[in-house]
Amino acid sequence: MNRLRIKKLGVLSFAKIQSLVMLVVSLLISIPYGLIIIVYSLFGASMIGGNASFAVGGGGVVVGILVMIGLPIFYAIIGFIFGAISALVYNLFSGLVGGVEIEVENVY
């Protein structure tokens, strides 16, 4: 087995990967959440005796769609920013204490 050490991370490449991971995770969360908002605004508020004024103008539908579109975009941007910061911090500290060591094995 070979031991390798990660000395530096590519800041832009790590930021892009982090952004994509955050986008996918937020899609898995925001789509069901947005659908719940839409369904509740159309049916739930009036069925349980609540105030149906949220559903009258389609405000709940708009909010649900904004949640499904806006949250993934927001999380992707935040993931990119913090991915870049994380890579910069890793590069700083790996220069001081070494990098992360990994063991690899050739498989044929």
Domain range summary for the chain, segments of one domain joined by +: 16-94
Burial of 15 (0-12, 13-18, 19+ CB in 10 A): buried
Range of weakest confidence among 16-20, 23-27, 58-62, 63-67: 58-62
Tens digits of residue pLDDT in 41-100: 777 656 655 555 555 556 788 889 999 999 999 999 999 999 999 999 999 999 899 889
**Higher local confidence (pLDDT), 38 or 78:** 78
Looking at the predicted structure, is the pLDDT value of residue 106 above 70? Answer: yes
What are the tokens at 38?
């839409």
- Give, in order, the Cα–Cα distances in Å from 52 to each of 27, 49, 55, 59: 28, 8, 5, 11
Looking at the predicted structure, is the pLDDT value of residue 5 above 70? Answer: yes
User: Quick check: 6 and 99 in contact, CB under 8 A?
Assistant: yes
**Higher local confidence (pLDDT), 107 or 24:** 24
Looking at the predicted structure, is the pLDDT value of residue 25 above 60? Answer: yes
The sign of the torsion formed by the CA atoms of 95, 98, 103, 105 equals positive
What are the tokens at 80?
């990119």
pLDDT band of residue 21 (cuts 50, 70, 90) is very high
| Nearest-angstrom CA–CA distance, 95 and 108 | 34
The sign of the torsion formed by the CA atoms of 48, 54, 58, 61 equals negative
**Higher local confidence (pLDDT), 4 or 75:** 75
Report pLDDT for 56.
54
